[in-house]
Each structure stands twice: as structure tokens, then as C-alpha cells.
């Protein structure tokens, strides 16, 4: 009979857990991936699917992001996981933002990370509907990709099952996990036990079921983001990830630019500050445009305070600004939703060995679709050598 003891159990089949499973499988380990829901339905499927290392600090996360790009692209050659290489663009709306994109281009050039400046006219031609009154110029990253969040994770798991002997079990909530008598035991809420040499827990923002005390005492906070998607726009093509002036003010890569302080000191609409709004666009493969987002925060223990409602005032702020940037053929909305993710206040990610051979890795914040593949590769190397 085949032994049901695994080398590694991964708890949580979001992008972070799934890429840990992927790198472990590639090492030839016998891996069990457990997911509490019928299919992953948290941040991993609620996002834009923008893979944008360009927005991240060069010293660390940009490196994970750049490695992730290589991993995604190489996977796509073997199996359709919905990768499209159409680049990312940061559109500047005023002189200060324009200065910053020039400075970031110079920084990237030194690092050997390809980027190119686009003049206003180039942008208007490349991005139909972009408003001349908004766009002063842009910085374009040709290597960057998008994925379809609703598809990528399922394809990745299917690929691992078909080609890497992964055992995947959804609908399995792990409610107990410990190292007992020389092995790890993970028990589900129906009392079924699974054993392994090691466990990696990538539980996203579910802090109630495993080691709650550790999370409640941590510096993790949860962010709630509002998103919307238009109806499909037949005949209209908006390529790649579109990031705009407020993203230039928000993303950490720009903080290294010499003129960043001037940008920070500049006035922005109080409503953007209050709701943490910046405007991103991405066209899905069905032709609809995903637009967002906003940020509201609460501590890990109090995340329920963020509520389940979509706040119409926030959507109005997002849409007003979005309409200042683009003139879309059809502004009717097909869907609105909220996404939530955990983020460590003082660290880029929460990593801790919570018991012998049991590692928690979560709270990757807004970087998960970009950084997880690279980060997980490093973690698996750290744990297994
Ligand atoms: C609206 C929005 C837009 C975003 N846009 C982008 C973007 O464009 N680019 C980008 O790089 N990042 C983006 N992000 C961030 C990115 O989506 C997250 O960083 C990433 O999805 C986090 O992945 P995760 O695997 O850590 O968590 P999750 O996606 O939350 O996955 C955790 C999984 O673990 C499961 N789980 C938890 N506890 C248990 C348990 N005890 N037993 C079994 N299963 C369990 C959960 O059910 C869940 O499926 C965005 C996030 C949001 C919310």
C-alpha cells in the first residue's frame, strides 16, 4: 500500500502556498497541498493579476518579482497558465510625476532592468481612450506580464497534479497542526490527520484556525480593497498593466528617486488619502476592464471591523478619477467586489517557525501575484538546502 506520509504538507492553496508546493515538487518531494475552500477564493483570485516588479524596491522584492517573471514565463511554455506579456506602464499626470519616471528609468538602467520612456503622443496611440488632458508621458516595462487571477491558480495546481505528482485536496480546513513524536501532524476539522516531515502554512488572512495567538500578537494588519469590472468592451484593446499618477505616488520603487520627497510634499485630494485610493486598469481576456482600488486597514484580530459592504462613496472616488484618465467605450459595471490581504507592518512578509518543522509564511501584502513564485523558491531552498 502507498504510504500516506508526505515530505511536505502545504496548508493554503493561494498563490503563496501553491508556489511553495510547486518548488517543493520540483525538488522531487512528495507534497500534499490542502485548501479549506472548494477552490481558492481569497486574494489570489480577487486581484488584478498584474505582475509588476517595477513597483517594488530594488534590493529585495524586485528581485523576487523578476525571478517570478522568469518562472511564470517558463511555466507558460509548458502549460497555459494565462500569462500574457504585454508590459506595464506608469502614466504621469504632472511635471513631478514625469520627473520621477525619468529618475526611475535611470535607476532601472543601472540595474539592467529594461524600461523605456514614452512621450505623450506614443501613449495616446498605444493606449486607446487615454486622455490627452491626463497623460504627460509614461514609463513602460516591456518584460512584465499579466495573468488571469480567476484562472492562473487552477491551472498551476492542475499542472502540478499532472506533471509533478502533487496531491491536492480542497475542502479541507486544517484546524490543528503540531510536531509530535518526530513528525508533523495536521488535522482537519472532521478529525482526519495527515502526517509529514515538514509543514508550510500559507494561510493568507485566516488567523483564527491555526496559531491564532501568534497572529493576534503580531504586527499584521488586514487591508480591504474595493474593485470593479466593466462589461466586456468588444473591439477595444487595452494592453498590459496600466498604473497611473497615484500609483507613482504609492509604489515603493519610486521612493528611491531623488525627487520623491517633492512628490510626497505635493497636495493630493483628501479623499484619495482617506481611502488609500490609486487607480489601476487591466483588461481581462473577455474584454472587460478591471479597475481599482482602495485600502482600509484593521488589526489581524479585528479584521471583521472592515465589514463586508462595498462602500459606494469609495467607488465614486475611484470612478471619478478613472474617468479623468480614460474614456472607455462602455462604463457599465458587471461586478463589484472586495478583496482582503494581510500585511506585516514592519516586515515585507510574516515568516516564523512556529513549532519544530512547522513554518508559517503569510502576510505578503499587495505583492503576492508578483513576488510569490520567487519568494517561495528561496524559502524552499532555505528549508531544504
Ligand atoms: C483586490 C486586490 C488586488 C491585488 N492586485 C494585485 C496585483 O495586481 N498584483 C500583485 O502582485 N498582487 C496583488 N494583490 C495581492 C495578492 O493578491 C496577494 O498578495 C496574494 O494573493 C496573497 O496570496 P496568499 O496565498 O498569501 O493568500 P490567499 O490568496 O488569501 O490564500 C490563502 C489560502 O489559504 C487557505 N487557508 C487559510 N487557512 C487555511 C487552513 N487553516 N486550512 C486550509 N486552508 C487554509 C485560504 O482558503 C486561501 O485559499 C492584490 C490583492 C487584492 C486583495
Which residue's CA is the nearest one to ligand 1's atom 25? 14
**Spatial distance between the Cα atoms of 171 and 21, rounded to a whole number of angstroms:** 17
* Predicted pLDDT of residue 265: 74
Contacts of residue 170, defined as CB under 8 A and 6 or more positions apart, other chains included, come to: 13, 35, 37, 38, 39
In the block, cell 511635471 appears at: 95
In the block, cell 498604473 appears at: 243
Measured from the Cβ of residue 292, the count of other Cβ atoms closer than 10 Å reads 26
**Residue 72 φ/ψ region, left for φ over 0, alpha for ψ in the -120 to 50 degree band, beta for the rest:** alpha
Banded pLDDT at 353 (limits 50, 70, 90): very high
In the block, cell 472548494 appears at: 38
> In the structure, which protein residues have their CB atom closer than 6 angstroms to any atom of ligand 1?
11-17, 34-37, 40, 42-44, 46-50, 173-174, 202-206, 209-210, 225, 227, 292-293, 339-341, 362, 364-370
Max intra-chain CA distance, the chain: 69
Contacts of residue 317, defined as CB under 8 A and 6 or more positions apart, other chains included, come to: 271, 272, 275, 277, 294
Question: Quick one: CA dihedral 64, 163, 8, 365, positive or negative?
Answer: positive
Lowest mean pLDDT among 71-80, 264-273, 350-359: 264-273
Which residue's CA is the nearest one to ligand 1's atom 18? 368
Which residue's CA is the nearest one to ligand 1's atom 14? 366
Pocket test for ligand 1, best of 47, 55, 169 (most atoms within 8 A of CB): 47
130-185 per-position pLDDT tens digit: 999 999 999 999 999 999 999 999 999 999 999 999 999 999 999 999 999 999 99
Ligand 1 centre to CA of 368 (Å) is 7
Ligand 1 centre to CA of 128 (Å) is 32
Contacts of residue 1, defined as CB under 8 A and 6 or more positions apart, other chains included, come to: none
309-347 per-position pLDDT tens digit: 999 999 999 999 999 999 999 999 999 999 999 999 989
Banded pLDDT at 267 (limits 50, 70, 90): confident
Ligand 1 centre to CA of 95 (Å) is 36
CA distances from 243 to 87, 91, 146 (A): 11, 6, 13
Nine cell digits for residue 115: 524600461
Banded pLDDT at 222 (limits 50, 70, 90): very high
CA distances from 156 to 147, 205, 368, 369 (A): 11, 21, 15, 13
| 62 class by beta-carbon count within 10 Å (0-12 exposed, 13-18 middle, 19+ buried) | buried
Ligand 1 centre to CA of 10 (Å) is 14
Which residue's CA is the nearest one to ligand 1's atom 3? 47
178-208 per-position pLDDT tens digit: 999 999 999 999 999 999 999 999 999 999 9
**Spatial distance between the Cα atoms of 243 and 188, rounded to a whole number of angstroms:** 41
Which residue's CA is the nearest one to ligand 1's atom 35? 12
Which residue's CA is the nearest one to ligand 1's atom 45? 12
Atom in ligand 1 nearest the alpha carbon of residue 368: 19
16-69 per-position pLDDT tens digit: 999 999 999 999 999 999 999 999 999 999 999 999 999 999 988 999 999 999
Ligand 1 centre to CA of 342 (Å) is 8
Which residue's CA is the nearest one to ligand 1's atom 41? 174
Banded pLDDT at 1 (limits 50, 70, 90): very low
Atom in ligand 1 nearest the alpha carbon of residue 50: 8
| 330 class by beta-carbon count within 10 Å (0-12 exposed, 13-18 middle, 19+ buried) | middle
Pocket test for ligand 1, best of 174, 284, 343, 366 (most atoms within 8 A of CB): 366
Which residue's CA is the nearest one to ligand 1's atom 50? 47
Atom in ligand 1 nearest the alpha carbon of residue 241: 8
In terms of pTM, does the model score above 0.85?
yes
**Spatial distance between the Cα atoms of 207 and 85, rounded to a whole number of angstroms:** 35
* Predicted pLDDT of residue 314: 98
Look at residues 48, 143, 51, 126 and name the one whose alpha carbon lies nearest to residue 91.
126
Ligand 1 centre to CA of 327 (Å) is 31
Ligand 1 centre to CA of 275 (Å) is 21
Amino acid at each position: 500500500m502507498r504510504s500516506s506520509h508526505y515530505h511536505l504538507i502545504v496548508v493554503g492553496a493561494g498563490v503563496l502556498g501553491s508556489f511553495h508546493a510547486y518548488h517543493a515538487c520540483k525538488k522531487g518531494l512528495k507534497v500534499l497541498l490542502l485548501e479549506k475552500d472548494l477552490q481558492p477564493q481569497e486574494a489570489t483570485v480577487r486581484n488584478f493579476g498584474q505582475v509588476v516588479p517595477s513597483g517594488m524596491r530594488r534590493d529585495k522584492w524586485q528581485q523576487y518579482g523578476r525571478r517570478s517573471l522568469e518562472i511564470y514565463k517558463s511555466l507558460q511554455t509548458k502549460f497555459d497558465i494565462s500569462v500574457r506579456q504585454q508590459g506595464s506602464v506608469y502614466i504621469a499626470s504632472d511635471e513631478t510625476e514625469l520627473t520621477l519616471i525619468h529618475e526611475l528609468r535611470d535607476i532601472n538602467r543601472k540595474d539592467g532592468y529594461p524600461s523605456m520612456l514614452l512621450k505623450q503622443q506614443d501613449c495616446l496611440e498605444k493606449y486607446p481612450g487615454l486622455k490627452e488632458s491626463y497623460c504627460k508621458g509614461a514609463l513602460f516595462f516591456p518584460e512584465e506580464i499579466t495573468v488571469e487571477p480567476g484562472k492562473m491558480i487552477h491551472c498551476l495546481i492542475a499542472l502540478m497534479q499532472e506533471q509533478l505528482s502533487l496531491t491536492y485536496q480542497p475542502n479541507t480546513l486544517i484546524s490543528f497542526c503540531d510536531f509530535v513524536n518526530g513528525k508533523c501532524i495536521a488535522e482537519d476539522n472532521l478529525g482526519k490527520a495527515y502526517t509529514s516531515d515538514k509543514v508550510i502554512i500559507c494561510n493568507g488572512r485566516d488567523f483564527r484556525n491555526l496559531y491564532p495567538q501568534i497572529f493576534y500578537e503580531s504586527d499584521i494588519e488586514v487591508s480591504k480593497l474595493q474593485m470593479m469590472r466593466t462589461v466586456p468592451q468588444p473591439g477595444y484593446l487595452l494592453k498590459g498593466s496600466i498604473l497611473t499618477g497615484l500609483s507613482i505616488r504609492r509604489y515603493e520603487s519610486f521612493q528611491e528617486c531623488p525627487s520623491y520627497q517633492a512628490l510626497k510634499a505635493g497636495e493630493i485630494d483628501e479623499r484619495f488619502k482617506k481611502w488609500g485610493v490609486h487607480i489601476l486598469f487591466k483588461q481581462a481576456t473577455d474584454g472587460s476592464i478591471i479597475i481599482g482600488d482602495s485600502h482600509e486597514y484593521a488589526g489581524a484580530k479585528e479584521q471583521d471591523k472592515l465589514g463586508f459592504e462595498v462602500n459606494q462613496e469609495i467607488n465614486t472616488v475611484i470612478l471619478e478619477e478613472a474617468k479623468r484618465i480614460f474614456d472607455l467605450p462602455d462604463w457599465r459595471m458587471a461586478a463589484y467586489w472586495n478583496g482582503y490581504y494581510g500585511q506585516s507592518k514592519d516586515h515585507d512578509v510574516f515568516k516564523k517557525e512556529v513549532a519544530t518543522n512547522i513554518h508559517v509564511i503569510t502576510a505578503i501584502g499587495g505583492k503576492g501575484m508578483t513576488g510569490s513564485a520567487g519568494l517561495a523558491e528561496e524559502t524552499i531552498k532555505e528549508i531544504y538546502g
